[in-house]
Structure 1
Amino acid sequence: MIRTQDRTESMWDSVDVGAGPAEQPIAFGGDLAPQNLLAAYRRGLYPFPVDTAEAAIVNELTYEAEVEAGRVKTVPGCADPFSISWWSPDPRPVILVDQARIQRSLRQQLRNRTDWTTTADACFEEVVRQCRVGRVQRWLTDELLRGLCLLHRQGHAHSVEVWDGDELIGGTFGIRAGAVFSADSQFTLRSGAGKTAVADLTRRFAEAGGLAIDVQRDGDHARLVGARPLPRSRYLDLLATRDENRPLATHKLPAGRLAD
């Protein structure tokens, strides 16, 4: 009997992530079941599903020739393969935890926010739901939300929360793939709260033996939270590094400690 995990792993055997396109999808198809999500993240991929049939048609019109030429792969799974794309940019924006630095402006802000605290895994689903509020296009689809929540229950997906008293004001979430944490998204309801969540995640993950926080998409925001471009080959090496597998600390801590 072939186990589900074995079938999932073998499904990705045809996808050479290291040789895939740098600035467009590497593959289409598959599904967002937890075992498939985890297998993809461990290979350096992350999903970008679409939430409308029209968006899937745009994907097909844009990338059909690349798929037919074999430059972009398809994997079995969903009825419309163009409804889920899988990405692995080159270079990859990454925070190396042993080189992480917090912006001076954020440190100054945290010193004045004595009532801010942070936790991990206190309200994972709420953090994910907050991360998709007002987003167009909504890549955090209901199906992806379900898959992420199942991964959280299995201990692979985690959230960090930022609190002002009892009020949730910011957070981030993602999937732990060995020595790398792939941070999918963040939200902020108060200035600096989202960046505080990423800084707290970086500190907690370093203390758990992690090596890097992957923020997936490069840009001004990625640079503001301390990410720097890393060649995809180096990123894949980090994924293959032996993980110390120490648990992520989840208890409440003062956000101000991040300013030290």
Structure 2
Amino acid sequence: MPLTFPTPSAARDDLDGLLLLGGQPTVENLVAAYSQGIFPWPVDGWPLAWFCPPRRGILRLARLHVGRSLARAQRQSPWRISFDTAFGQVMRACQAQPRPGQAGTWITPQLVRGYEALHAAGYAHSVEVWEDNTLVGGLYGVAVRGVFAGESMFHCQPNASKLAVLALAEHLRARGASFFDIQQLTPHMAVLGSEEVSRDEFLALLAAEQGVGRQLF
């Protein structure tokens, strides 16, 4: 049975924006969630948890910052970048990526199955960075109603995930997007010019972007 989500403004600030517990990451539920600015985030010992946090990380494409060393790495990179050619491989590499301060990963087998179904339905997408035929970096996320939400990234070589972000930013900007959702601001993304906004500001940006009706992929 499909989930009915509470309005995001009802999210619990004291629980990082928790809105709902339960349900499955089906295509129908994931599309309904992302269209409202909600995403699943498994918590140990809980049913599947759905959040719309009080503070939201975004990258405004007009404010993308590319430092000198990253610009040089982009110009000189021998790597090949592709889109949507190895979604499952990217997601599993993100799942296996060590995270400082984390004992495991939030990318559960249940979520892998759910997002792979979402990819097959045309809503989830990946960016791949290749060294010959070896995947050395990438990211994946969800595009619903003209807004892209980044989920996770990984790298096996320095700057590989950042080059994936730059490729994604160029792709989205060429299609008229003004920002993409990164959910949580991290030092890795802050270097690229990402910022944190309130839930209300994020939801206003989301509604404005959705109103244009862009096709991102």
TM bin (shorter chain): 0.7 to 0.9
Q: Is the Cα contact below 8 Å between 2:129 and 2:135 reproduced in 1?
A: yes
The answer to whether the 8 A contact 1:180-1:239 is kept is yes
In 2, are the aligned partners of 1:209 and 1:244 still within 8 Å (CA)? no
Corresponding residue SS for 1:209: coil
2:29 is aligned to 36
Q: Which structure has the bigger radius of gyration?
A: 1
2:58–2:194 CA contact under 8 A, matched in 1: yes
Partner SS state of residue 41, structure 2:
strand
CA drift of 1:247 comes to 4.3
Where 2:184 maps in the other structure, the secondary structure is: coil
Counterpart of 2:65?
101
Runs of 5+ consecutive residues of structure 1 not aligned to the other structure? 57-81, 249-260
Q: Which amino acid aligns with 1:101?
A: H
Residues 1:182 and 2:179 aligned together: no
| Kept after mapping to 2: 8 A contact 1:48/1:139 | yes
Shift of 1:34: 1.3
Distance across 2 between alignment mates of 1:244 and 1:42? 12
Tell me: CA distance 1:247–1:41, structure 2 relative to 1, closer, same or farther (3 Å).
closer
After superposition, the CA RMSD in angstroms is 1.8
Distance apart, 1:117 and its partner CA = 2.0
The letter for the 2-side match of 1:141 is T
In the alignment, structure 1 residue 47 sits paired with structure 2 residue 40:
yes
TM-score, length of structure 1 as denominator length: 0.74
1:69 is aligned to none
Q: TM-score, normalised by structure 2?
A: 0.88
C-alpha contact (below 8 Å) 1:172/1:198 kept by paired residues: yes
- Alignment partner for residue 11 of structure 2, among 8, 20, 45? 20
Amino acid at match of 1:210: A
Identity across aligned pairs (percent)? Answer: 30
Q: Which moved more, 1:225-234 or 1:188-197?
A: 225-234
Task: Tell me the residue number matched to 1:252.
Answer: none
1:155 aligns with 2:122: yes
Q: Does 1:117 align with 2:86?
A: no
Distance 1:222 1:247 in 2: 21
- The amino acid that maps onto 1:46 is F
CA–CA distance in 1 between the matches of 2:68 and 2:53? 29
Residues 179 and 107 of structure 1: CA distance in aligned 2, closer, same or farther (over 3 Å)? same
Tell me, in whole angstroms, the C-alpha distance in 2 between the residues paired with 1:83 and 1:175.
22
Structure 2 residues without counterparts, runs of 5 or longer: none
Tell me, in whole angstroms, the C-alpha distance in 1 between the residues paired with 2:97 and 2:131: 22
Task: Give the 3 Å change call, closer, same or farther, for CA 177–103 of structure 1 in structure 2.
Answer: farther
Cα displacement string for residues 144-194 of structure 1 (whole angstroms, at most 9, x for unaligned residues): 111101111111110011122322110000001223211000000100001
Task: Give the paired residue count.
Answer: 209
Mapped contact 1:210–1:244 kept (Cα < 8 A): no
The alignment partner of 1:204 has SS state of helix
